[in-house]
Structure 1
Amino acid sequence: MDTKENILMKKYEVGRMLGQGSFAKVYYGRNLVTGQGVALKCINKQKVMKIGLVKQIKREISVMNRVRHPNIMHLEEVMATKTKIYFVMEYAKGGELFKKVAKCRLKEETARKYFQQLMGAVVFCHSRGVYHRDLKPENLLLDDEGNLKVSDFGLSAVAESKRQDGLLHTTCGTPAYVAPEVITRKGYDGAKSDIWSCGVILFVMLAGHLPFYCKNLMDMYRKIAKGSYKCPHWFSPQVRRLLSKILDPNPETRISAAEIMEHPWFKAGLCVEKPATTVETGVVARPLGLDDATELARPDNLNAFDIISLSSGFDLSGLFVSRDQKDDVRFTSTRSASCIVSKLEDVARESGFKLMKKERGSFKLDGSSEGTKREGLSIDVEIYGIGPSYHLVEMKKSSGDLMEFQHLLRQTSFGDIVCSWLGDQQHH
């Protein structure tokens, strides 16, 4: 690792190796300021680019920033050197759920608790337009209090990945946990395929073995396609009925997440209290008021990934951004936050947008109203505070045509508030 005396970036003490893959190693780390344990995923830049996993790494960062939930592994920050990329992640002291199940099957009450937490995380992901696509016990970790944490979003997809038929088409996942419609390669609903995988996980937790296992892969696929499995005698009638609805090979009739969460077996012993950890929820946009700009006098601080992007030595834009398909831009400004907001109001007025305020430091340029000049185009704008008079502005297309987004940027003059464009220089 690029460390001096096992200290990374003067912030983390690097300890023992927790795991190793073909292009990444995971170490235990300790935050020198807080003393908190973390997992440090060290990725070799050269190997990533050679293997062609640039898009996968970019997607994983994007997705993990999008889904913050008590039962999803939290990405603390991303750091980089010229040769390495570091994911600083929440440390799951309890290890993989797989190792727990491998020792012996779980009691029904324990399996139900994990399944409840798994479904909570999966439903949250789906509400954010994220589909995991590789749910299995190896990707479910446990914290020191025994709470489940969904990890490894490297194969995940987002709603924007759907084709015109509204379906996903990339065949991926672990064979024993993959839904039958994924195998057929005819397109599939990411939410429904995730539900199938959750059903396989529930079966494995209760039985201690896979429902469709065969040594011959084609025989296993045939079993999966037919939904052919047998429940052990110790399965309760309620869980048998639930599994029969989840492991339905027809995605059209397969039970939905909402229906699972209303099932009597699922609801048994379910804690209705709000979790101690705040779950990030969607914020309803509202029109920007005249006094709202003052709320940006001291915007929230940047995370480490944002700050890294400002330094050419640590700039990841060349690795993570496809310059010919760029749907977001960033620039720095030495103007006040209120001046930046005022400029956004001018842009909205001149270009036929509505400027909406979502939350502190977060806005939306909305051109989705019928009959407007920019009908269908919607842009999310985030303003981050680096210092009292230094800001980072990020503009990202959330819907609409990419060419129209790029045309707007070329047509609109931000020169009076821009200090420097970051990454791609096409907007100078």
Structure 2
Amino acid sequence: MALNSPSTTRKEGQGLLLGRYEIGKLLGHGSFSKVYLARNVKSNEFVAIKVIDKEQILKGGLISHIKREISILRRVRHPNIVQLFEVMATKAKIFFVMEYVKGGELFNKVAKGRLKEEIARNYFQQLISAVGFCHARGVFHRDLKPENILLDEDGNLKVSDFGLSAISDQIRGDGLFHTFCGTPAYVAPEVLGRKGYEAAKVDVWSCGVILFVLMAGYLPFNDQNVMVMYKKIYKGEFRCPRWFSPELTRLLKRLLHTNPETRMTIPEIMENRWFKKGFRHVKFYFEDDQIYSVTEGEDEIESDGIDYSLDECHEAPTEFDARKRLVTLPRPASLNAFDLISFSRGFSLSGLFEDGGEESRFVSSASIPTIISKLEDIAKVTSFKVRKKDFRVSLEGSREGVKGPLTIAAEIFELTPSLRVVEVKKKAGDRVEYDEFFDRELRPGLRTLMLPDPVISDEKVKEKVNDFEAKEKVKDFEK
């Protein structure tokens, strides 16, 4: 089925997947799934939808496998990793709605011949950034190869297919993994030995094979007989072609070292002279499921035609200055009855939607500029960066932790013309670090803005719900 062009109109919900996505051509398929190109009919954005047959995964005992893949994809959100937007399900199917990467597989590019050194190095730098990010969050891919690496329309690399990935929770008592998996030509020698292996070192080996392929145009270990190829891998028998520079040859020999104890680590790779040429660390953040990258040394972010300038924590603006900046912005979102229900002690629904993050709300009579200025004051004292978009403020720490820098989001909602609800939650980083920051800095800093009783009573909720339902009945009658 061909996709309609973005300009084509159609009756919403008719012939659409769950009333939201128009399914197009088949992009690929596996043992239990098919991947289709699709279009979000509301935003006109293209996505890739992975369709999984429930009956097949139940028969194959793969329910825990699917759950783990979802958990992993939510954990590793990075500019060089294919993003999972949402998961939906019907009685018969499970749907992964994912980022659509237009450029195809890296394999197709390499199949045309070896790459220039600068291009290969750029791809390798992006690959190592993504793999290092995964390892820092306890995720190990275990099947890295050019077929599982995609390229977007700008030539940026995107790691995909985490179906064979593992997480640190699966490590046995000996501190090693034991599952035999991967693609023969890219598998590390210790996996072949079947005595247990460190998954991080296995991923580094695969990255080394990929780098060799990018630069040479062929595999370092190859033979029509798989057992002969395995023997070459186990012994580490490979030869670099004459056009490899001495620096690159030395790097590859350390990446493809048969002893995992002396094989290079990700931090060592990032300090290597050949690797560091032209390399710039990329920092990033998420806003409304969109990823925004900030390269070190840049002061601005451009995305979707909007400039999001970085606030370098200068003098906190006065309320008058802040009001001037907000005058052209839309009003903050108003809360309806169902939003209020989530604030009530007896009707809290947040646990159903939060992915393990911490969340707090309070009611304030302070003006919106005052609330934003107070958050900027806290950021200035704690050396956090501030990002602002409409009535949302993000505070971003600079210290790298196991789960990345701590990022805190605050959003302001209008309850009445004179009252605002402020919602504060952890967007990224370690929960323990967030709890400490909240108790030490956020709560004391925001206390002056809080009304004495920030919890809305159930009676007020019922009153608002009744009022809301009455208005809806009038609308229905008018229709």
Same fold (TM > 0.5): yes
Does residue 154 (structure 1) correspond to residue 163 (structure 2)? The answer is yes
Question: SS where residue 76 of structure 1 aligns?
Answer: strand
Q: CA contact under 8 A between 1:131 and 1:194: conserved in structure 2?
A: yes
Larger Rg: 2
1:264–1:22: structure 2 CA closer, same or farther, 3 Å change rule? same
Offset at residue 55 of structure 1 (A): 2.2
Counterpart position of 1:376: none
Counterpart position of 2:277: 268
Quick one: which of 14, 18, 36 aligns to 2:45? Answer: 36
1:6–1:93: structure 2 CA closer, same or farther, 3 Å change rule? farther
For 1:90 and 1:76, how far apart are their aligned partners in 2? 7
Give, as a single letter, the amino acid of the residue that structure 2 aligns with 1:50: K
TM score, norm. by length of structure 1: 0.66
Offset at residue 57 of structure 1 (A): 1.3
Task: Kindly report which structure 2 residues correspond to 1:192-211, keeping only aligned pairs within 5 A, or say none.
Answer: 192-211=201-220
Does residue 91 (structure 1) correspond to residue 95 (structure 2)? The answer is no
The superposition leaves residues 16-43 of structure 1 with CA deviations (integer Å, 9 ceiling, x where unpaired) of 1111222211110111111111001111
Counterpart position of 2:343: 336
For 1:122 and 1:274, how far apart are their aligned partners in 2? 15
For 1:97 and 1:66, how far apart are their aligned partners in 2? 24
For 1:361 and 1:110, how far apart are their aligned partners in 2? 46
The superposition leaves residues 81-140 of structure 1 with CA deviations (integer Å, 9 ceiling, x where unpaired) of 100111100001000000110111111111100000000000000000000000000000
For 1:53 and 1:73, how far apart are their aligned partners in 2? 22
For 2:34 and 2:357, how far apart are their aligned partners in 1? 38
For 1:24 and 1:204, how far apart are their aligned partners in 2? 29
1:361–1:113: structure 2 CA closer, same or farther, 3 Å change rule? farther
Offset at residue 212 of structure 1 (A): 0.5
Greater RCO (CA < 8 Å, at least 6 residues apart): 1
The superposition leaves residues 132-184 of structure 1 with CA deviations (integer Å, 9 ceiling, x where unpaired) of 00000000001111100000011000000001111111110101101111111
Task: Kindly report which structure 2 residues correspond to 1:5-84, keeping only aligned pairs within 5 A, or say none.
Answer: 6-84=15-93
Q: CA contact under 8 A between 1:203 and 1:210: conserved in structure 2?
A: yes
Question: SS where residue 230 of structure 1 aligns?
Answer: coil
Does residue 100 (structure 1) correspond to residue 109 (structure 2)? The answer is yes
Q: Which runs of 5+ in 1 are unaligned?
A: 281-297, 299-332, 345-356, 363-384, 390-397, 399-416, 418-428
Q: CA contact under 8 A between 1:69 and 1:279: conserved in structure 2?
A: no
1:229–1:5: structure 2 CA closer, same or farther, 3 Å change rule? farther
Counterpart position of 1:240: 249
1:275–1:219: structure 2 CA closer, same or farther, 3 Å change rule? same
Give, as a single letter, the amino acid of the residue that structure 2 aligns with 1:59: R
Q: CA contact under 8 A between 2:282 and 2:293: conserved in structure 1?
A: no
Question: SS where residue 224 of structure 1 aligns?
Answer: helix
Q: CA contact under 8 A between 1:111 and 1:202: conserved in structure 2?
A: yes
1:256–1:340: structure 2 CA closer, same or farther, 3 Å change rule? farther
Task: Kindly report which structure 2 residues correspond to 1:103-182, keeping only aligned pairs within 5 A, or say none.
Answer: 103-182=112-191
For 2:166 and 2:346, how far apart are their aligned partners in 1? 37
Task: Kindly report which structure 2 residues correspond to 1:218-367, keeping only aligned pairs within 5 A, or say none.
Answer: 218-272=227-281, 274=283, 277-278=291-292, 336=343, 360=359
1:6–1:242: structure 2 CA closer, same or farther, 3 Å change rule? farther
The superposition leaves residues 184-212 of structure 1 with CA deviations (integer Å, 9 ceiling, x where unpaired) of 11111111110000000000111111100
Q: CA contact under 8 A between 2:105 and 2:151: conserved in structure 1?
A: yes
Q: Which runs of 5+ in 2 are unaligned?
A: 2-11, 286-290, 295-331, 333-339, 362-410, 416-420, 422-429, 431-457, 459-479
Q: CA contact under 8 A between 1:6 and 1:14: conserved in structure 2?
A: no
For 2:78 and 2:161, how far apart are their aligned partners in 1? 14
For 1:99 and 1:26, how far apart are their aligned partners in 2? 18
Percent of aligned pairs sharing the same letter: 58
Q: CA contact under 8 A between 1:123 and 1:257: conserved in structure 2?
A: yes
Offset at residue 6 of structure 1 (A): 4.7
Q: CA contact under 8 A between 1:6 and 1:15: conserved in structure 2?
A: no
For 2:115 and 2:255, how far apart are their aligned partners in 1? 19
Offset at residue 334 of structure 1 (A): 5.5
For 1:207 and 1:225, how far apart are their aligned partners in 2? 21
TM score, norm. by length of structure 2: 0.59
Question: SS where residue 111 of structure 2 aligns?
Answer: helix
